[in-house]
């Protein structure tokens, strides 16, 4: 178990930034390995001077390039675009913490580089890209059968359960979405970008990006009131699981089912007892009961009332065993309407059939730090 000093730079007793992979002692006597420092020149060489042909993608935090180190190892080099809210020392402390978080379902941070105002992160390179490209894009790059999809849901749930419940102090990811679930050579999922949201002011970068583009992943209480708890990640996981089972992106509303969000449509099908209609038509064979269970677990995760959502360790249980889900306890999802429709927040109530909507813009988005479980 790693006992880190997330956000508390003062507990580090010493640093020697020029030397990689040393250990530093926290005041509690725990040791954390220091992040490897890559020189800027080394990364220039690895990425062919950040050439556009090496560019893999661009997201809320910056631009990602594929690089090859001198020893032949492939890496993903992320050049952070937004100004960090911290000074170099605090930034390095956060980065030390992130690079000490290791789990088979988390993308490994190999090191970093601070060069003038540039801050660059070096990650292990995941050759099968992210599931937005592999599964949800126009040009789906990989054929994912049911076993692979179920492994993606399970592995992502395990990675999140580790961040939420095993790591001390725990980490709320804040940005669980298809482009942050990367696939290794065996198509096992690895969550990317954990710990990063904390480095930046909330008013720029990924938060505003999400409101504009991928609002479908956001828990209602996060958008409306800025309440950021572990349960906001659980909500996003629910949306992601539906995407994996259905092969449809939550960012679209043109599924041939009217102008509905994926979660909204899933709830409607659930109420009609037709959840199987949601399964990706490209899936030729799949265990129907299991697929239905996965979709119901997704609905449990996305309930409008955050306290009713399961913890991620419970989600792994619900997904992995053929447990009977207590559907009497299942309440409707809350969701944010996407940019394709009027901007607002909707929570539909099953029993009264009333719809409550609030204008998103009238609620300031201020996130809190890691919140209690």
Q: Write out the residues near Mg ion by the rule CB under 5 A.
A: 59, 180, 192-193
Which residue is associated with the tokens 């580089």? 113
Name the active-site residue from 96, 132, 175, 280: 175
Q: Residue 214 is encoded by which pair of tokens? A: 């991928």
What x-and-dash track marks residues 94-113 binding ligand ADP by CB under 6 A? Answer: -------------x------
78 is in an annotated binding site: yes
Cβ-based nearer residue to Mg ion, 59 or 220: 59
Q: How far is the CB of 286 from ligand ADP (least distance, A)?
A: 26
Cβ-based nearer residue to Mg ion, 32 or 182: 182
Q: How far is the CB of 60 from ligand ADP (least distance, A)?
A: 4
What x-and-dash track marks residues 25-64 binding ligand ADP by CB under 6 A? Answer: -------------------------------xxxxxxx-x
Cβ-based nearer residue to ligand ADP, 57 or 226: 57
For residues 296 and 213, what is the distance between their CA atoms, to the nearest angstrom?
Answer: 26
Q: How far is the CB of 130 from Mg ion (least distance, A)?
A: 7
Cβ-based nearer residue to ligand ADP, 192 or 216: 192
- Whether the upstream peptide bond of residue 169 has omega within 30° of 0, thus cis, is yes
Cβ-based nearer residue to ligand ADP, 175 or 221: 175
SS3 content of the chain, % helix, strand, coil (to 5): 35, 20, 45
Measuring CA to CA, how many Å separate 331 from each of 70, 280, 296, 306, 350? 54, 25, 11, 11, 8
For residues 271 and 275, what is the distance between their CA atoms, to the nearest angstrom?
Answer: 8
Q: Residue 229 is encoded by which pair of tokens? A: 């708890």
What residues from 156 to 185 belong to the interface with ligand ADP (CB under 6 A)?
179-180, 182
Q: How far is the CB of 285 from Mg ion (least distance, A)?
A: 32
Instruction: Give start and end residues of each alpha helix (H) in 162-306.
Output: 206-213, 220-225, 230-246, 262-271, 288-301
Q: CA nearest 251: which of 361, 174, 340?
A: 340
Rule CB under 6 A: is residue 236 a binding residue for ligand ADP? no
**Chain-centre distance of CA 69, in angstroms?**
27
* Residue 195 DSSP code: T
- Residue 129, binding choice from Mg ion, ligand ADP, none, Cβ under 5 to 8 Å by partner class: ligand ADP
What residues from 112 to 131 belong to the interface with ligand ADP (CB under 6 A)?
123, 125-126, 129-130
For residues 344 and 360, what is the distance between their CA atoms, to the nearest angstrom?
Answer: 5
Clarify whether 175 is annotated catalytic.
Answer: yes
Q: Residue 183 is encoded by which pair of tokens? A: 């696939």
What residues from 180 to 209 belong to the interface with ligand ADP (CB under 6 A)?
180, 182, 192-193
**Chain-centre distance of CA 257, in angstroms?**
27
Cβ within 8 Å of residue 230, ≥6 positions away: 164, 170, 172, 311, 312, 371, 373
Residues with catalytic roles: 175
Kindly list the residues in this chain that would bind ligand ADP in the complex (CB under 6 A). Answer: 56-62, 64, 76, 78, 107, 123, 125-126, 129-130, 133, 179-180, 182, 192-193
Residues of each annotated binding site: 78
């Amino acid at each position: 178990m790693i006992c880190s000093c997330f956000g508390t730079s003062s507990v580090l007793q010493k640093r020697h930034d020029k030397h990689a992979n040393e250990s530093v002692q926290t005041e509690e006597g725990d040791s954390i390995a220091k992040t490897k420092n890559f020189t800027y020149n080394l990364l220039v060489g690895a990425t062919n001077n950040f050439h556009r042909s090496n560019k893999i993608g661009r997201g809320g935090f910056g631009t990602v390039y594929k690089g090859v180190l001198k020893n032949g190892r492939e890496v993903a080099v992320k050049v952070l675009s937004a100004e960090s809210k911290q000074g170099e020392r605090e930034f390095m402390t956060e980065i030390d913490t992130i690079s000490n978080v290791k789990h088979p379902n988390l993308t490994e941070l190999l090191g970093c580089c601070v060069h003038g105002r540039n801050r660059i992160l070096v990650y292990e390179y995941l050759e099968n890209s992210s599931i937005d490209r592999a599964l949800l894009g126009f040009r789906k790059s990989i054929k994912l059968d049911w076993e692979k999809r179920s492994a993606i849901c399970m592995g992502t749930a395990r990675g999140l359960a580790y961040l939420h419940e095993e790591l001390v102090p725990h980490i709320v990811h804040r940005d669980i979405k298809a482009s942050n679930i990367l696939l290794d050579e065996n198509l096992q999922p690895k969550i990317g970008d954990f710990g990063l949201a904390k480095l930046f002011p909330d008013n720029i970068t990924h938060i505003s990006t999400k409101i504009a583009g991928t609002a479908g992943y956001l828990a209602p209480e996060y958008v409306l009131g800025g309440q950021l708890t572990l349960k906001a990640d659980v909500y996003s996981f629910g949306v992601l699981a539906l995407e994996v089972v259905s092969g449809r992106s939550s960012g679209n509303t043109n599924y041939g089912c009217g102008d509905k969000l994926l979660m909204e449509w899933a709830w409607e099908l659930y109420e009609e007892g037709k959840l199987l209609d949601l399964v990706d038509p490209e899936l030729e064979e799949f265990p129907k009961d299991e697929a239905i269970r996965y979709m119901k677990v997704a609905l449990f995760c996305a309930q409008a009332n955050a306290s009713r959502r399961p913890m991620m360790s419970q989600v792994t249980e619900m997904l992995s065993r053929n447990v009977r889900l207590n559907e009497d306890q299942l309440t409707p999802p809350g969701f944010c309407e996407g940019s394709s429709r009027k901007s607002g927040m909707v929570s539909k109530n099953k029993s009264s059939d009333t719809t409550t909507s609030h204008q998103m813009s009238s609620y300031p988005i201020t996130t809190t730090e890691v919140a209690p479980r």
